[in-house]
Chains A and B, each alone.
Chain A
Amino acid sequence: MSDTNKQKSGGKKSKVAESFRKKGFQIFGLGAQDFIRFFFGGNASLAIIILILICVFLAREGIMFFPDHHKGLKSYRLAGQELVDYVGEEIDAHTSLYSAANVAYYAEVNRTSQEEDTILRAYRSVLANVENMTKKTWGRLEAWQEEKEDLEDELEDLLEDKEKLTEAAAAPAAAANDANADQAADTNESEDSAAKLAEVNKEIAAVEARMKELDAEIELLSEKLKKEVNVAIASDEAWDLGVGADQPPADSIDEIKEAVLFEAHPDADEEHAFIVEVKERSKEKKAKAAEELTGFKDTVKGIQAAVRPIRSYHSDLKKIAVENKREIEKFSTAPERRKALLEGAENTEDPEDKQEMLDRANAVDITEPEYDKINAPIYERVPEHEKLAADLKAETEKLYAALPEVSELETKSARESFGRAEVYNERFQNRVEENTEKVKEWRHDKNLSIFESATAFIFGKNWITNSSWHDFYGLLPLLSGSLLISIIALVVAVPFAVAAAVYVNQVAPYGEQNFVKPAIEFIEAIPSVVLGFFGILVFGETLRNVSQVEWLSWVPGFPMAERLTILNAGLLLAFMAIPTIFTLAEDALNNVPGALTENSLAMGASKLQTVFRVIVPTALSGIIAAVLLGFGRIVGETMVVLLVAGNKIKIPDFTEGLGVVAQPAHTMTGIIAQELGEVDEGSLHWRALFIVGMVLFCISLAVNFTAQKVLKKFQKI
């Protein structure tokens, strides 16, 4: 039944017996069947063309990123910004060290006044709660008071008017006594003002009446408010101090209550005596503690001060670099500006305008700036750096050594900060050493290879856009976020999904199987945006509350300060991946020949021995493929991470060990969804997002391809 046969038979009609001949409609020897075939074939090729187009269009929008990015990086170097950022990095490293030490210092100082601070915090939250609970009455009261103030102003104005009018009324009367000239007119005037006066008087009376009304209303409301405050403060809601907050000492509760009652009053201006006293006490204790820790304080201040010279050096250089950048930008946009002006001139009717535009077009400076010249001021100051950096390093080293020992610290948070400070110190020292070399060797005209700019994208540690300084497009923060979240999701999802697959396929009785399997498959249909919604509104809060339970504080990253974190996203994605992995793993287990089970059982193996020694190992590659496909699904998931991961573009700080999961992060999918809608079509940023999409595309293809290979190997068994 092949094509050629058919055509042959069509061509040699005479030799084919009538009864075997092709019947019906034919064109060029092609029958209806062939057209049906072409129709289907055409659609199939359409599908394939579409699939090829995906690659083409991702590439079309994205591929120009590399030359553009290269150009951007080149101008970054030519303008000397690169050098400035080397110095900036040193300062940043120093700042991390300083702030860690500073946090430790304040933790130590505040330790003495903990009780007072707790009371003050509790007082503030109770006050806020009470005010919130009585918000409505407050709002009305305030509205009345405002109105009353307005009325008071009005009354003042009216009284003024009245005075004037009275005077005016008095004046003509006096004048009339002196001379009777123009009496008629004057009488008219005086009559007029008398009428006005009467009107004003009436108005004043109305305002006063209204004010009286208001006063009554305000009094009533004040009473009501007082009552409401009393009710509010008695309720538990008012004493909800927020999750994880310390409770104030029991003996201070009555006083806090009194202070709140005092303060939650419309006329209250000053703070309650108790609060003032507590504040005073807290201040005193802090001062005392600070006195004891003067050495510590001075060291910390010293660290802060040490960086000043290099900071001013940095800002000087920055000014030069910004100027350079402007020059370079002017040059790179010059041809376009010129073209626009020329086009404008062409379209203008008015000869004067036309001439002006032409002149302006010709005036556009299209000469390339002399990079040597514009960078000269930078080179001039480069030699200073070595000394500044060395001084900073030596000073910091000295001061770091002068910091108290960890064992001398009394609070946990201070000790933790010191742990961080140690890491930061080491980093700082290395950074200074490295960058001193870099600064020394820096040349603005050093060649930048396209390979280097590609590396700067793939291994770049910053994704900074819309910046006035320089836009960085580094994949690493996004990639690390995506991978970290996916790994967490996988670590959680795989045991559950595989356990459920084993349970459903091998252990569960028939009836249970028929219920559990569709139920888990059902989860797969939950739209990701719904899960994200759940994560942002319910799960994030729940997770944070759980993390603040005391006996869970050993878990890395607990207690969590944030609601939207890597962990939150990871757990939700795990939930999403479970049905995918479950279905495929269950399939793999199902495909293990039943004879193997029989054989194993016949040898006296228990059911579970059979499962774990024969069935699971046999299905292993199928299960691995399932896990890989699950991974593919997680990495490419957009809405959950966009909503829940916290969207902070920063490489997760791994110094916290496993606690890293409590940080927010951003992902490759999330950044596309978040930023693509807001960038100009065809800009570098736009292209960067398409490249991120291409990276995703490649990752998912690689994962899928591997999974298919593994699966094929499994099917051979």
Chain B
Amino acid sequence: MHDLAKDKPVEKSLNPFSTKDFALKRRDGFIRTLLRLATYFILACAGFIFADIIIKGAPVVFESSFPFVNTKFFTESPETLVVFDTADGESHQLDFSDYSQFKRDNPDMKIIEEHTHSYSGGGILGPLVGTALLTLICIVVALFIGLTTSIYLNEYSSKGRFMDMVRLAIMNLAGVPSIVYGLFGLGLFCLVAPVIVDAPNDRALFSFPILPGKYLSFEGWGTCMMAGGFTLAVMILPVIIAACEESLKAIPMGFREASLALGATKWQTISKAVLPYAFPGMLTASILGITRVAGETAPIMFTAALAHKDVLPWEGANSLGGFFSQSVQAMPYHIYTVAARIPQSEYTKPMQYGSVFVFMILVMCFAALSIWMRIHYRKKVKW
């Protein structure tokens, strides 16, 4: 029936609904194309950056033969690279330790054209471990405080002007530049935070004895991974609180009322009828937090990071406290170092691109996971 109607086309002159404003159509089409171009231009830029890093970085990390991965790159820490030619016309690129070995082994070999490139040899094990530790400390601290705070704000606190102000303050702090958090971490955790010592330092803000021979001294933790992790935690705290509250708010009031009406206590209600459903949202928030934290450089510059360190964290510490009070290398800081603080040459390129490639892949994996989770749960959960 409908098809039949199509067979006898409506004569244009008779059709009162034929297109009249062709200019409008053209304009619409033009604007549509413009919008699309703008959108895809952004994606093209992103694609270009990714492609550049992947093309130049992947060859450093992967190898064509077994085990297909440059194991040295992942099992050694950054070292100085020595590039030299020997008199027999061969060129060598060796890490400093291998270079010393080489010289010991071939004492007669005449070495010509010797250059050193700092941080260009070895691998990225130290920075990787450091970043992992910093992120771990940060996420544990931030999740603990952030989760409990958001539960309090959303479930326990009474509504009112004060709580609104607190929320506004938290929202505002989410936008404070990361370097300001770095300054804050330096001021609080590195210089003032309390430690237990045998004899308080002169620099301590104040100190008092707590046990015989032990003092609680407010002299700061110094530049160490604890300070860095805590600084990062404070930095993402507002983000985590906001995200967790968001996911708590999304749970319908009915769940709580139904649970309370069945005689459950407040805590039972929260733990059985609210948290399980808010869990995916909170998980997403924490993964998002990891993404942000792992990529940050500014807050750890003065609180935790070190450009060069010979030993891995567990090799240098003899106690748990000692373990956490070491400074560490970190991926973003390492990238900053190799990108801007050492003289550039073709020999530093593999280290630069290799580090950036690995780092970006890691961060992007977390980012992709959080985006996927968000979309996934948004689709799945509807009440």
Contacts and interface: CB of A to CB of B under 8 A. Distances in A.
Contact of B180 (A36, A516, A528, A636): A636
A528 B332 CA distance: 9
B340 interface: yes
Given A48-B166, A499-B34, A518-B375, A676 B302 contact: yes
Interface stretch (B60-68, B93-101, B183-191, B211-219): B183-191
A98 interface: no
B172 A499 contact: no
Given A629-B175, A673-B301, A530 B191 contact: no
A220 B182 CA distance: 61
A642 interface: yes
Interface string B143-162: 01110110111011100000
Interface string A549-571: 00000000000000000000000
B28 interface: yes
B175 A43 contact: no
B148 A522 contact: no
B43 A40 contact: no
Given A51-B170, A500-B42, A693-B180, A37 B175 contact: no
Interface stretch (A52-60, A101-109, A355-363, A594-602): A52-60
A199 interface: no
Interface string A597-638: 000000000111100000000000000000001001101111
A519 interface: yes
A531 to B, nearest CB: 8
A36 B141 CA distance: 19
B356 interface: yes
Interface stretch (A250-258, A317-325, A327-335, A694-702): A694-702
A613 B334 CA distance: 50
Interface in B42-78: 42-43, 45-46, 49, 52-53
A606 B29 CA distance: 11
The main secondary structure of chain A at its interface with chain B is helix
Interface string B201-215: 000000000000000
Interface string A641-662: 0110000000000000000000
Interface in A649-692: 669, 672-673, 676-677, 681, 689-690
Nearest to B147: A43
A524 B364 CA distance: 10
Interface centre among B34, B43, B151, B187 (most CB of A within 10 A): B187
B136 interface: no
A672 B183 contact: yes
A548 interface: no
Nearest to A46: B145
B298 A136 contact: no
A606 B28 contact: yes
Interface string B330-373: 00100110011000000000001000100110011011100110
A83 interface: no
B172 A36 contact: no
Interface string A3-46: 00000000000000000000000000000110011011101101
B112 A527 contact: no
A53 to B, nearest CB: 6
B48 to A, nearest CB: 9
Contact of B339 (A1, A524, A536, A701): A536
A140 B85 contact: yes
B294 interface: yes
B352 A50 contact: no
Nearest to A221: B89
Interface in B15-42: 24-25, 27-28, 31-32, 34-36, 38-39, 41-42
B131 to A, nearest CB: 11
B352 A681 contact: no
Contact of A43 (B148, B359, B360): B148
A57 B41 CA distance: 43
B113 interface: yes
B182 to A, nearest CB: 8
Interface residues of B, number: 93
A516 B356 contact: no
Given A525-B364, A525-B367, A528-B297, A676 B170 contact: no
A525 B38 contact: no
Interface stretch (A189-197, A202-210, A457-465, A501-509): A501-509
B192 A529 contact: no
A538 interface: yes
B112 A633 contact: no
B226 interface: no
Given A503-B38, A632-B175, A44 B180 contact: no
Contacts of A703: 175
A32 B28 contact: no
B187 A529 contact: no
B291 interface: yes
Contacts of A693: 179-180, 183
B287 to A, nearest CB: 10
Count chain A CB atoms within 10 A of each CB in B31, B52, B166, B291 and give the residue with the most. B31
B199 interface: no
B43 A708 contact: no
Contact of A704 (B157, B175, B332, B339): B175
Nearest to A506: B35
A656 B332 CA distance: 36
Given A530-B356, A534-B49, A136 B91 contact: yes
Nearest to B301: A673
Counting from the closest, the 7 A-B pairs by CB-CB distance are A636-B177, A527-B295, A525-B367, A43-B148, A57-B187, A499-B38, A44-B152
Given A54-B181, A636-B176, A693-B183, 17 more contacts: A41-B152, A48-B169, A53-B188, A54-B180, A61-B187, A136-B113, A143-B113, A504-B39, A507-B35, A530-B359, A532-B340, A533-B335, A536-B339, A575-B42, A582-B42, A607-B28, A608-B27
Interface of B: 24-25, 27-28, 31-32, 34-36, 38-39, 41-43, 45-46, 49, 52-53, 85, 87, 89, 91, 110, 112-113, 144-146, 148-149, 151-153, 155-157, 166, 168-184, 186-188, 191-192, 234, 237-238, 241, 260, 265-267, 291, 294-298, 301-302, 332, 335-336, 339-340, 352, 356, 359-360, 363-364, 366-368, 371-372, 375
